[in-house]
Structure 1
């Protein structure tokens, strides 16, 4: 593998990261049992469920891997040294996607069938477990003091993801529902791995503690901004962009930030919305559209959109505190904005 992803364009940066780490990622997946390797390769978009080349599949964006490499560059390190960390973070992230699809019973991801839908629940669960194990082994094999610390960061993030997913399930099953509880869940489920990605890249490049802390703080806010923006997308977003059916979160009766904020509003629309709480399975599209309108009327969408803007601004303020070249700070800022807004 030669070269490094150095373009300042976000699209070029993401493509560069994909090309840079893909050989290592595929080598890791190839070590799995053939059945699991086949399912994982399908999930990554490398081939169809029948094993045929899948040029039309929408590939993973490798956002977290890009964050690892950018963090390494930002603190003056060589991205090559951070490749094991980038691969490990990407593997752990995709582990969570495979399991999330099973838990949520989502039939589609990136415009085609999910692994559990194509291969069965057992295969999807085992494939997710296998990717998590590979994530750990990528850093274990490096056998350096920075890699050992990066591994601790990774396993801590893994635990946070599980905690966040459990809290999310509790919300869906009628547990304590509040905006505060939801943000704690999002910090574990979404922010933790982003903070891990930046921390791993910085640690593998020998950054000082203050720089590591600021990078991780910025990514904690980034994750909350992203979760808020994603919650808006999963109700009102364009399916061609999200890769999910329209009104997908409402169809599943999910308790997301716009819903919780609307319920807490005390408004007539919020009170009417409370009568619709629970699973929306089998409801007509026009009924779901009415629920979405109630959320807007109660201010839930506005709260989530404001949260996304405010948390992104806070994330960028942390970046401004870094004593790093403007070129690298600008690259991180551009990535943050792309993650939250989908625009470069």
Structure 2
């Protein structure tokens, strides 16, 4: 008898993406849960399940079985939380329709608050489909009400709160919002920004400086080349990004450089961004996001997988960027 050519990593329950595409608005209670497994084959991890309508459905789950096994070794004591609806034992994922369920095992690591849908860019690569055509911003009373509810559920303290959008720096009441948030028991407040106002607006820089003991900046920074910025942002923003980073560093505001990477576009600049963070005072680190193909760009680039070393000297480990997904 011939061997199958794979090994079972573990058994799982999953859904059929083809069924979802056919009827995306169906209630979760009517979506079939399928038995399946994670199978290691040809150095890749595949999610495989059997659907009565579509047969065997196979999806790439992970590009490195070794890294997956390593990550699954990480465990930590779970923090106690208060469920949004006591006694909510509905099956996952439909339980989340009523907030955090009774058996939720993970607390809120990062509370993401989208405070504006408007933006001052029309990025070909956009996680939120934002643009200057959209004008809505969230009232700060609504933002604070949600934050206060999360604080109650998290027993009085949040680790990290991220303000995002759209472009959150365009919120007309951002100074008042930062003041209110800084008065609450939140360890770190992150402003997720493209940096245009940071580079040009001294008033905004003064506000960030006032709150720098608690607030920091998550700065969009796609690389050092003109091609990288034109591909992801639709224009050459190198000077704006440089000015934003310099001004933040001069004000001693902690900053993380956030790079959106696409294979064959700017993945070769990962090392450059890391080195820039290492040599810039108050740059606390760098983060790498997968390219999201949606919005105005119909084309796609291949998946960025586990990369071989892309820079020389001072950084010896292998950088990894996970597969592009529907972000």
TM-score surpassing 0.5?
no
Greater helix content: 1
More contact order relative to length (CA 8 Å, sep ≥ 6): 1
Which protein is bigger by CA-based radius of gyration? 2
TM-score normalised by the chain length of structure 1 = 0.28
TM-score normalised by the chain length of structure 2 = 0.30
